[in-house]
Structures are given as structure tokens and as C-alpha cells.
Amino acid sequence: MNVFRLLRSPLLLTLLVSSACTLEGRLGGSSRRESHSSEQGSMPRGEAQGEGASAGACAVHVDRGKELLVVDSSVIRGRESKNEVPGAAFSFRSQMEALAGSPDGAYELTSSWLASWASTISVGVSEAPVTPRPAVEEVLLAPWRTAARTAASPMGVAPFRLVAIVNRVDVGELRFVYTAVDPLQRNALAMTAIVELMLPDTRTTREWAEAFHELGGLSFDDTYTAKLAALAREVTEGADPRLTRIRTNEAAFHDDWELRESRLELRSSPPALAFVLLPTTPRDGLDRSAGLRTWLVENEDALLAGRTPELPLAMQAGAATLASPYLTWARGMPVDEEARRTFSLGTCNGCHGGERSGDPLRFQHIAPWDAPGPYYARDGRTQVSTDLADPDGGEDELGRRARFVEKLLCRAPIAKEAPAYARPSCR
């Protein structure tokens, strides 16, 4: 039986709902221990170590839920998140209009991108094979066309709504997490899309961190939303669209979850979003292969140092399939277990699969409150994986990011400091 269908059983639904996120506990404060994988946010070594900081003297405290991962309903469901509001700072519509270069081109850009799930059979110069998912027409495109007939603008009823805003200053990004929705009923579908914008060089790394840190001293009110919206607009308007990534994770068009990455193809006219290779995720069928074994042995030292080099082009996947939440890579390979796990966590499907076994939120790290299947959060809050935010105060990814910001703000500023990031492939 397909694992995703199995997980929809009433018994598992009850068990998993009972473990749903208590976001105040997960997002408040900062964790105390180091995370297990640098791929969760690679960064400049000097900044990661907080050079120049006095570990015991600095009193900087990062509010994780206001500075790093924003899921409060006043923001996520507020006016600045609404597609029907032209120019809303956090909306999917605004992000697509920015990528298209104008409001008029956003619908064509978005609908053509979604239609490519039905027609694409290979990705990249190495022609990595992918399986078409034609159900996108029935699930999203046709209902969207129906909804658009009576709307003031097709992008005003675009089939994505905001789930979270993520400050990744540690890797030089601001991210907007959206869930796909039924265009007519507006309920969430089994698909998330993360729009990842590179922070523009209008500010230094430290200055961006300081700007978001100011949010930590505010309450969730109109002032907070206005300041966050101003930062979001500054990033959206200043980001280089050629560097923007959209990463998707969906089981809406097929029984199995699948992760893909898309980027703007500027050579086409008008610009189009195209799928790109996943540089640290192997193609299906390569696990435990001789080629992967050789690559792991040759790159073991880098993996032990917490770095995941890019795979050869002929090994890079065009999509990462995830039929089981227990998927891991390279079990039994002749390399140190720490190196194996760094590699597996650096893959898109390993990161969302079995390398975080035991997490009640399967397949995803962030999901909408009304996600279909066994993850339905009856308390109406965005759901967050325990790998990202541990409710028991153990080591987690948000804690690592908080420590990065705290160390960055504690050390003395560096003259002419400029962003210099190692952008993760799948984290």
C-alpha cells in the first residue's frame, strides 16, 4: 500500500494530530545546542563562529517567532498576505508579479509554470528524467480558470496562500512559504511552494540581521506587520530575479510526494519559470550504486567537515521523489556514518524523509493548518516539524539559526562587510 495513503488512516490521524505543533513553545526563545547538519544553513565560517564575540558578555536574544520564522495569524492571514490586495507585501501574487517584471505578465508566468508539471519529461543539460504529472490540470489549472472568470484579476484568486515567512539571513535569503489551495473551495492542497529571494546588497549581513532583530521587541500588531512589510518590499524590489528560487514539495498531482526547484529562464520571451537540476540530490535508482559509492569515498572528508559538494551532472536529479517518509541515502556504504548522514540530509528527499524519523509532521517541515491527510492541525496554527522547532527544547534548526544571529550581532562590525553566503541546495 502507498505510504501516503496509509498515513491517512483514522488511527494515525488521531495520533499525529495529538502531536501537532504548539508554536509558542517551539518558536519562543533560542535553542542551546548545535544542529546536526551545516546543510541546514551553510554560512561564512567567520560569521558562524562569531569572530570577535565575547561568549559570556553579550546579551543579544533572538525571538525566533518574530525574527526567524513568522507564522502568527495576524501576519499570515492579514491584509499584506492577500492575493486580492494589489501590492500586498507577503502575497504570492506580489512575488509572481515581481518575477514577471509587471502585473500583466504574472498570470502567464504562473499558469505556464504550473502547466509544465504535465509536460516536462527531462530537466537540465544532462536531461535528467522526470515523470509528468498531468493531474495539475484538473487539480489547479482548470479550477483557477473558472475562478478567474468572475475575479477582478486572475492573480487575485491565484491558487496559493501564505503559510510562513522565513528569515534566512544565515544563508542570505528571505523566504515566503505558500500552500497550494483549491481555487474554488480555497482549502489547502498537498503542495507547498517556497519563494526564496536573495537579500540585496543594499545592506550588509549584519545590517539585515539588525533590521529583523528589531522586530523581536515588538508585539504582533499593526506596527510589527508594517515594519515586516517594509523589509519584505525592500527585499522583493531589490532582489535579483535571476537568483530567485521556487522550491516545491507536492503530492497533489500524484500519490507520492515529489520535490522540484524552478528558476526564471530569462532567455525566453516572455520570461518563464523552468525546472532545474538538484545539485546534491541523486537520481532515482542511484542509491548504493557503484558510482555513488565512489563519489562518497572521494568526498568523505568534505562531508565530515559538514559540506556537501555538488554531484556530477549525470547524477543530479531533476526531481526528488519521496514515496516513503523513511527514505534515506547511502545506508551500508563504506564511509563514516557522520559523512553518510551529512550527504543524506543534503538531499531534498533525505531531508524531508527518513533522516528526521519520528517527526509527527511527515514529508514536510512547514505545512498549513488545514493540510489534507493526517496532518490536520485543529488548533488553526501553521504546522512546523520538530526538526525545525523542537517543542521539548532540544537541539533544532531554529536554535542554530538563532545562535548565528546572536553571535553575528555580538561581535564588532567589520568594515565594508558584504554578504558572502554558501546557499544550501535543499535546506
Q: Is 413 left (phi over 0), alpha (psi -120 to 50) or beta?
A: beta
Q: What is the pLDDT of residue 411?
A: 86
Task: Tell me, letter by letter, the H, E, C secondary structure of 358-385.
Answer: CCCCCCCCEECCCCCHHHCCCCCCCEEC
**Whether pLDDT at 366 is above 80:** yes
Residue 277 C-alpha cell reads as 537540476
Q: What is the pTM of this model?
A: 0.87
Cβ neighbours of residue 422 closer than 8 Å, sequence gap 6 or more? 42, 43, 44, 171
pLDDT, the chain, mean: 86
pLDDT, tens digit (0-9, with 9 covering 90-100), for 267-292: 878 889 999 999 999 999 999 999 99
Q: What is the pLDDT of residue 360?
A: 83
Mean pLDDT of 386-406: 92
Q: Give the domain ranges of the chain.
A: 3-410
Determine the Cα–Cα distance for residues 378 and 370; give it in Å rounded to an integer: 8
Q: Which of 21-25, 62-66, 170-174, 225-229 has the lowest mean pLDDT?
A: 21-25
Q: What percent of the chain has pLDDT over 90?
A: 74
Contact between residue 283 and residue 129 where contact means Cβ atoms under 8 Å apart: yes
Q: What is the pLDDT of residue 422?
A: 62
The verdict on whether omega for the bond into residue 143 sits within 30 degrees of 0, i.e. cis, is no
**How does residue 260 score in pLDDT terms, banded at 50, 70 and 90?**
very high
Choose among 225, 235, 236: nearest CA to 72. 225
Amino acid letter at 210?
Answer: E
Mean pLDDT of 195-214: 96
Distances in Å between the Cα of 370 and the Cα atoms of 252, 367, 376 are 14, 8, 5
